[in-house]
């Protein structure tokens, strides 16, 4: 009989979509998802994956517009509505929470009744950016989990230190595969120049990719201000690329664009949705990637950039020890304000640094390809149900 899995998460997440696709390819299972509605911006992308879900249950909205305008009442109604929807779902072998929203703590009793085993995947910001009182609410569901999954050891250890009463044997490290790596391996015959041409970028341009999505957490504004300080020392052929294809918020976009217009930097902001194939070409077109989020577990975009030989500039506050331990070459800064000088150093030493980056490709493949990871997830599910 197939294992019945309920995912509590966002169907708009490429991690969840590709995870379910890989899972269904290798495991006899039925997968349902309880999710936020499909977003218009990525609708065409999500459509490709709908066939891998047995049922998709979208969170419904409360219809009384007048009452729902009052924040506190809206929140109460939202919690009650979600609790009722979960109550009406069937029963499952496994419930797997992807990204620990605090609301799951408020409806813990409804969730734990739905399955034999509960798995929680911590994505990073759900732990690092949650306030103390949100963590207190999260604990209401955390205490029921049979396994809590992390992408790296540092986050696991910090989580364990904070939630001291949680059994350490429940905490495990497992990696999500990156579908883009498989595409990149299949397009090795396509040159960097051809990838630049695809995006109508001059083949002589030196592309510096800033951040990996439209979230304010990527610190775009601080990055721009730091680069402005050294822009007179940078070569004229640099093109600064800002991927705003995911997590787009118009107000923040206009703020960033306004600053870029004043800076006189040669830039382009990408806002149109990109397919996985186009993402792969973008990674290959880029020469340098600046990855300085406030918090993270293990950025997929950064790993893809490392795979393609980009010089990656990242922060020493980020939990990337697993990459260093495996021998990955990266440049680090201690604050976002230092990135301008580090970029200047990268440009002035481009050839030697690119040579050092050549070893990164195989290491990233071994860490983060689906070929190397999906079986670990399947074994975890099977072992859980046997215990």
If you average pLDDT over residues 130-140, what whole number do you get? 97
Q: Same fold for the domain at 3-177+370-386 and the one at 179-368?
A: yes
Q: Check residue 64 and give its pLDDT.
A: 62
Question: If we measure between CA atoms, which residue out of 109, 111, 142 comes closest to residue 127?
Answer: 142
pLDDT band at 267 (very low <50, low <70, confident <90, very high): very high
When mean pLDDT is compared across 74-83, 169-178, 210-219, 250-259, the lowest value belongs to: 74-83
**Mean pLDDT rounded to a whole number for the chain:** 94
Q: Among residues 53, 130, 147, 63, which one has the least CA distance to residue 383?
A: 147
Mean pLDDT on 112-140:
96
pLDDT of residue 67: 63
Domain positions in the chain are 3-177+370-386, 179-368
Q: What is the pLDDT of residue 42?
A: 77
Predicted local confidence at residue 76, as pLDDT: 83
The model's confidence at residue 273, banded by pLDDT at 50, 70 and 90, is confident
Q: Hey, how many other C-beta atoms are within 10 angstroms of the C-beta on 193?
A: 13
Query: Yes or no: is domain 3-177+370-386 CATH 2.60.40.730?
Result: no
Residue 177 has pLDDT above 70, yes or no: yes
Residue found under tokens 């690119």: 354
Q: Residue 249: is its pLDDT beyond 90?
A: no
- CATH class of the domain at 179-368: alpha beta
Task: Give residue 65's pLDDT.
Answer: 64
Q: For residue 250, what are the CA distances in angstroms to 118, 136, 258?
A: 37, 32, 12
pLDDT tens sequence across 313-363: 999 999 898 899 999 999 999 999 999 999 999 999 999 999 999 999 999
Select the more confidently predicted residue: 285 or 70.
285
Which two tokens mark 78? Answer: 């939202």
Between CA 162 and CA 7 the distance in angstroms is 26
Would you say 290 and 330 are in contact if contact means Cβ atoms under 8 Å apart? Answer: no
- pLDDT for position 298: 87
pLDDT digits (tens, 9 = 90+) for 30-89: 999 999 999 887 788 899 999 999 999 999 876 666 666 777 777 888 899 999 999 999
- pLDDT confidence of residue 62: 62
Measured CA to CA, the distance from residue 329 to residue 335 in angstroms comes to: 19
Please give the pLDDT value at position 315.
Answer: 97
pTM of this prediction exceeds 0.75:
yes
């Amino acid at each position: 009989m197939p294992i019945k899995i309920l995912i509590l998460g966002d169907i708009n997440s490429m991690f969840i979509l590709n995870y379910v696709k890989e899972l269904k390819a290798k495991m006899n299972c039925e997968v349902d998802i309880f999710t936020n509605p499909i977003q218009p911006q990525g609708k065409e992308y999500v459509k490709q994956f709908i066939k891998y879900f047995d049922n998709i249950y979208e969170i419904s909205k409360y219809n009384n517009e007048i009452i729902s305008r009052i924040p506190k009442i809206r929140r109460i109604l939202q919690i009650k509505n979600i609790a009722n929807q979960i109550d009406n779902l069937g029963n499952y072998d496994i419930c797997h929470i992807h990204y620990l929203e605090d609301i799951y703590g408020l409806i813990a009793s409804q969730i734990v009744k739905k399955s034999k085993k509960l798995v929680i995947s911590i994505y990073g910001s759900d732990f690092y950016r949650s306030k103390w009182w949100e963590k207190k609410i999260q604990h209401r569901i955390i205490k029921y989990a049979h396994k809590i999954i992390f992408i790296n050891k540092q986050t696991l250890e910090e989580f364990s230190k904070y939630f001291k009463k949680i059994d350490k044997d429940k905490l495990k490290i497992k990696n999500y595969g990156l579908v883009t790596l498989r595409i990149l391996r299949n397009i090795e015959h396509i040159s960097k120049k051809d990838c630049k041409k695809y995006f109508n970028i001059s083949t002589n341009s030196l592309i510096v990719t800033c951040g990996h999505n439209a979230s304010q957490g990527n610190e775009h504004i601080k990055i721009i201000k730091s680069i402005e300080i050294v822009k007179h020392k940078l070569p004229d052929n640099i093109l600064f690329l800002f991927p705003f294809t995911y997590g787009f918020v118009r107000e923040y976009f206009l703020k960033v664009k306004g600053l870029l217009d004043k800076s006189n930097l040669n830039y382009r902001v990408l806002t149109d949705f990109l397919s996985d194939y186009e993402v792969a070409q973008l990674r290959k077109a880029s020469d340098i990637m600046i990855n300085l989020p406030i918090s993270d577990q293990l950025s997929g975009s950064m790993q893809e950039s490392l795979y393609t030989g980009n010089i990656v500039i990242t922060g020493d506050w980020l939990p990337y020890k697993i990459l260093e331990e495996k021998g990955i070459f990266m440049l680090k800064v201690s604050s976002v304000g230092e990135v301008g000088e580090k970029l200047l150093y990268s440009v002035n030493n481009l050839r030697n640094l690119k040579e050092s980056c050549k070893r990164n490709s195989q290491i990233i493949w071994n860490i983060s390809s689906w070929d190397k990871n999906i079986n670990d997830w399947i074994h975890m599910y099977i072992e859980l149900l046997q215990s």
